[in-house]
Structure 1
């Protein structure tokens, strides 16, 4: 009996020994998913934060919402969570099932260490992603850079990136890789912003105190974005401090800002409210009042703008979270005189969004968003008893759902749908008199329904090869007119080694709404118009390729990208087109094609005391409008460059942390001059009404082809110093010097008449250059309590 028991015991040990390799192999095959969010100690989202297991040489980066997902083999692992400027977290895991985790990183106390780069990704992550032509803007960098009138502007900071041109001196307009300003998709927490500018384009509507992160896509457009041809500017607002009530703000040369944030049911949610207002009007009103009654005094027009941002979030449970965002901004320009003439011009955006985030499992979550976006302007004139009002607007109601699914560590799948109801107020006119004898009006409105379905898969084929493919199905209907198309997207990245990667990208885009701009106007009287009747959707395709190198032990990233983009159904207008309150506006359009190509070089450094970038772009942009619809086209059907075509564009940005209290910054810009149309000469016509005298002929200008002259090159140096004060370094004085060496850059050129002093006869014409901004120093006080 004892012998039998011993034999059975040894047999059992033998079976266990034989089966142990198989059990270990099965254990090795088992893999589980860890997912969750990465935030800062105040509750702020940290997009780009790295979540890695160094022992396995694997990891991932948090997305723009702070979410991450990582597939790991079962067993014990050491997980490292890190973000530049924050203290690293190391956590031991015993992975036996799927887990959802949350991490809160505290800000680093080492003031002389690496510069904080909020809302950005590391250079290594940029090297390894399939995305091309993407710029992740650091709000910290934007706040340090010298700014016009001390007013920090994220869109102007984007103009310092290669492939992005400005519309002119001091403006916030973006012209990306040969595209026009209306071909940029500008989003604020997933809601579309139709006019992202204040002060006639000098400043953007985005208050830097409220912004968390900004991503600019010049190519490699993810499938979830559509509706525009040239770029995507994706702006995310901050969520507010989840632990403390904090007030921040600043007092500058032309405006002041105030932000207040704090927890909601501490640990469950947070809120942030941020406001900004200029005070031009306070000084101009005081000046006008002091000179009231003087016969030789002309009143100064009244102008100011304000904007208000608000955001709140609340965690309903382990799997559900709600977010609410609101924006209200207005520009108000007015003039009144003792003669009874009053003029008021108001324009601005109103935006609201509600988003629900639900986690089905560590592998699958969904964001469902409802939003409203409204842009309108109203222009009112009043002379004695007669009043005249002109206006236009566009309003969108949008619903969208976006799923993200990570089945394993090789695939990241995104699918979604969106639907937008547009209302286009193409023109609104009202005129009446106080006695009732004049009373008439006109109102032209159109409606449009735009929808899209998309799917994409980011597939890691191997450690060296990563592919991303996407397909977007879009459609648009206005009245009885319907349009649609497929928009394929494809990207590939091949790593030659740990420090070199090659990338290739293709994208096709449709644009169903069009911006009607009176090129002679200097005010934002733009009209958005739907695809209908003869106005077909615009379409563009872009191919790009590039190579990226990590240099200097990973401290520098050098990229070289080339691109070619071509489009059709591009929109322009007949000479003398009637744009306002025209029920047949589509008859004023002409259509053509466009193409652009270029090479962009970019060297970037994000860590250490000295950071910054150098960018250089060599590019060409072309357009062609053949004779059509009773016109000779543009330039008689010959190819021409648009006025924003710039052959050379060089930017140098340097940020240096001198010590715990001082930051020094500088930016230098050199670009080819704007293209313009100037007269070749003049011929005289006599004996017509309007002649200056009965003898002198009236000079009539002779114009060459459109945009045949290029203005002198534009260059400018801006300098800045940030001095931190207070025991906790929570206040600072920021000195900005715009155009430090007082370069007189050309804004536009006009011709003045030259006359003989003795006979008062016209003897010629002299070109005169108008410059906008000389050297402008400004001082801003910023605080955080």
Structure 2
């Protein structure tokens, strides 16, 4: 009987709102730039005295619901001067706002600071938004700026381990994150075996992370939505942006094709460690103890094209192509491994009238990996991939009385190639083929209403209908609800509930997301995963609006979670479903967060106290894990702390620092060993004995990163030198633990097993030169 408990926060907020109920009027209009008339998307429009506000949509349109009275209306947008006007609301009315470009950097800082009030007044909760500008100021591993790693510094978000770009959000696994790039799905958003994300900072404008209270337009995953927005080309002139780092370089070109009508952006990035390792191999190949260094590099390409068809129509074509390559070759052995994502998405935005808009997109996305191996006269290749074709449409309808409707639908065709193996001898006398191809269709439809009940209370509620067909058809209803109530001008209460379904699953044989993991569809035997999450919190502005404090509590239930039998074979297995086990999970915790984005010193402190468990019990003893008892997942982390500070030392120098602390990962280690002896009494083998799943903890993980950004003064454009020190006090954080077998030198008998820790990164300094002209 969870339903009454889930509804309790919303009933409290509705009760608080009843005394303030009043007849409201609608204030709406557009926010545009003064010089060009361009619609300003995401501009803030607020009535601070009424404790209400909103942001403009894709057409620069806003709407507010207010009771009759006199107010001060304020509007802001990064790079533009603030707008302020005294208004009198007596009925439904239209007010278009024009913003003038800011004349100096100080005004830009003031505009950015208003986003704290925007967060306070936003109905949505459990949302984190990050811009590339913020991420580029923070210290980075090898100088490579990574938006996903920056998200790991927010409460409720954890990494899979040292240096990893994986996201574990509120107890969910890496496969439970819906990662979108300009509305197109990205299946494996990482390079270098998970150490870097696929998102080139020069090609990305912003990223928005939803940890809970998911809007109804999102579906298909359980734990989070990572909505990445590529930047658009410049409308005024052609410009170049790039950087030269220790392991990679990047270059972006953008500008107008037809002024004020069409523009383009092309961005590329490549690592070049392989250039040096190949040269080392050439110089060393004549040495008697020559041991070649493997080749590794990755690259990615982003492209975006915008074309304004007319006053009411705009086309956008976005694309991404990225690949990783790992190669090794000697006289007897040749090994190659490559993997990567590709996507293309065509979006058509259309304005029917001042109150109805649509965005229709058609896209294709794929992820694949291939392993090639040649030994003597034999060769084999192993590959797996998933390819999607998607068509979806979203509508925005603004109604009177404070209602903003959003509705639409989508359909996706999935094509799976699972464990495709080809084995051949040089003379073709021996051949072997294995693997399977599967297809499935996923579809969804939704409707949601963003309703401003009065100046104190706003609601966002909706319903998503989802389905999946792979021979077996599944349907589900996914209700969503979020509420915000303003106790005072600077204090708001928020609550949310979301039900989510996941029909496509990641088959992984480790705690980290690897390129060789396989995506597998729901079927007769493999049921879709489901989660329900409820959250409640308080937001408080203080210090004359300089600081925002939020505190959220959440509880999440998960059903039909997937794990694997001991010794499961996940490769070249045409009966993969026989290796699956199904259980349930739960995660709950508290997230506290304080942020400051105004002044010379800015930053945030985030702390999460959380618990994450799984349970696999069954009447069949072979389908039980940990004797059917609850056990912590590997990424169960009791305490997670992050402190991020940015200080403007002068006009040209910015200092940055980031400190993180986390409870060590849960780990399974043997508690004893059983020795077998042969008939002569000699020890033949030693078998480890485990007690419970993930019953031990690795040492805590903590690290300090430091950075300095020095702005240069070139004759043309702008540039800077970014110095970073990763792991400044050289903490050797645990990556994994293994046991070394200590033997007697005379008898060869095993005396003991000694645990040893493997760490990845010591202190690593780096420097990057960034430019724009």
Given the two structures, how large is their TM-score scaled by the length of structure 1? Answer: 0.90
* Change in 2 beyond 3 A, CA 1:40/1:556: farther
**TM-aligned CA deviation for residue 615 of structure 1:** 0.4
Equivalent residue for 1:249? 242
* Change in 2 beyond 3 A, CA 1:237/1:78: same
Q: Larger Rg: 1 or 2? A: 1
Match of 2:678 among 676, 683, 687: 687
Match of 2:666 among 652, 675, 688: 675
Cα distance in 2, alignment partners of residues 70 and 249 from structure 1: 39
Match of 2:398 among 387, 390, 406: 406
* Change in 2 beyond 3 A, CA 1:159/1:781: same
Q: Deviations over 1:580-607 (max 9, x none)?
A: 2323222211100000100000001122
Cα distance in 2, alignment partners of residues 371 and 637 from structure 1: 43
Cα distance in 2, alignment partners of residues 740 and 523 from structure 1: 28
The alignment partner of 2:118 has SS state of: helix
* Change in 2 beyond 3 A, CA 1:761/1:41: farther
**2:370 counterpart of 1:383:** no
Match of 1:109 among 63, 88, 104: 104
* Change in 2 beyond 3 A, CA 1:601/1:115: same
Equivalent residue for 1:159? 152
Cα distance in 2, alignment partners of residues 539 and 235 from structure 1: 24
**TM-aligned CA deviation for residue 432 of structure 1:** 1.3
* Change in 2 beyond 3 A, CA 1:705/1:71: closer
Equivalent residue for 1:721? 708
Equivalent residue for 2:432? 440
Equivalent residue for 2:13? none
Equivalent residue for 2:5? none
**TM-aligned CA deviation for residue 611 of structure 1:** 1.1
The alignment partner of 1:631 has SS state of: helix
The alignment partner of 2:359 has SS state of: strand
Give the RMSD, CA atoms, in angstroms: 2.9
Does the 8 Å CA contact 2:53/2:122 hold for their aligned counterparts? Answer: no
**TM-aligned CA deviation for residue 562 of structure 1:** 0.3
The alignment partner of 2:427 has SS state of: coil
Cα distance in 2, alignment partners of residues 66 and 253 from structure 1: 41
Cα distance in 1, alignment partners of residues 175 and 24 from structure 2: 52
Match of 2:595 among 593, 604, 621: 604
The alignment partner of 2:622 has SS state of: coil
Does the 8 Å CA contact 1:345/1:378 hold for their aligned counterparts? Answer: yes
Does the 8 Å CA contact 1:115/1:606 hold for their aligned counterparts? Answer: no
**TM-aligned CA deviation for residue 170 of structure 1:** 0.4
The alignment partner of 1:437 has SS state of: coil
* Change in 2 beyond 3 A, CA 1:100/1:402: farther
Alignment of 1:40-189 (within 5 A): 47-51=41-45, 60-63=54-57, 65=58, 67-70=60-63, 81-88=75-82, 106=101, 108-110=103-105, 114=109, 122-189=115-182
Match of 1:34 among 20, 29, 37: 29
Q: Deviations over 1:675-704 (max 9, x none)?
A: 11111122221118xxxx973453222222
Q: Deviations over 1:531-587 (max 9, x none)?
A: 002100000100110011011111111011000000111111111222223232222
Cα distance in 2, alignment partners of residues 72 and 569 from structure 1: 42
Match of 2:489 among 494, 498, 511: 498
Equivalent residue for 1:519? 510
**2:688 counterpart of 1:701:** yes
The alignment partner of 1:772 has SS state of: coil
The alignment partner of 2:109 has SS state of: coil
* Change in 2 beyond 3 A, CA 1:337/1:432: same
Cα distance in 2, alignment partners of residues 507 and 686 from structure 1: 57
Alignment of 1:198-213 (within 5 A): 198-213=191-206
**TM-aligned CA deviation for residue 453 of structure 1:** 0.7
Equivalent residue for 2:565? 574
Cα distance in 2, alignment partners of residues 314 and 622 from structure 1: 49
The alignment partner of 2:670 has SS state of: coil
The alignment partner of 1:127 has SS state of: helix
The alignment partner of 2:399 has SS state of: strand
List alignment gaps of at least 5 residues for structure 2. 1-22
* Change in 2 beyond 3 A, CA 1:260/1:97: farther
Does the 8 Å CA contact 1:319/1:359 hold for their aligned counterparts? Answer: yes
* Change in 2 beyond 3 A, CA 1:108/1:683: farther
Match of 1:631 among 608, 612, 622: 622
Match of 1:740 among 714, 728, 739: 728
List alignment gaps of at least 5 residues for structure 1. 1-27
Equivalent residue for 2:11? none
**TM-aligned CA deviation for residue 518 of structure 1:** 2.1
* Change in 2 beyond 3 A, CA 1:172/1:468: same
* Change in 2 beyond 3 A, CA 1:36/1:679: same
Cα distance in 1, alignment partners of residues 234 and 530 from structure 2: 43
Equivalent residue for 1:365? 357
Cα distance in 1, alignment partners of residues 397 and 107 from structure 2: 40
Alignment of 1:520-599 (within 5 A): 523-599=514-590
**2:232 counterpart of 1:239:** yes
Task: Decide which moves more: 233-242 or 424-433.
Answer: 424-433
- Matched pairs, number: 748
The alignment partner of 2:232 has SS state of: coil
The alignment partner of 1:334 has SS state of: strand
Cα distance in 2, alignment partners of residues 420 and 36 from structure 1: 35
Task: Decide which moves more: 537-546 or 87-96.
Answer: 87-96
**TM-aligned CA deviation for residue 408 of structure 1:** 2.3
**TM-aligned CA deviation for residue 77 of structure 1:** 11
Task: Decide which moves more: 192-201 or 742-751.
Answer: 742-751
The alignment partner of 1:774 has SS state of: coil
**TM-aligned CA deviation for residue 240 of structure 1:** 1.3
**2:466 counterpart of 1:474:** yes
Q: Deviations over 1:235-290 (max 9, x none)?
A: 00001111111100000011000000001211112211110000011011111111
**TM-aligned CA deviation for residue 720 of structure 1:** 0.3
Match of 1:649 among 640, 657, 678: 640
The alignment partner of 2:627 has SS state of: helix
**TM-aligned CA deviation for residue 127 of structure 1:** 0.8
Cα distance in 2, alignment partners of residues 560 and 42 from structure 1: 40
Cα distance in 2, alignment partners of residues 207 and 776 from structure 1: 21
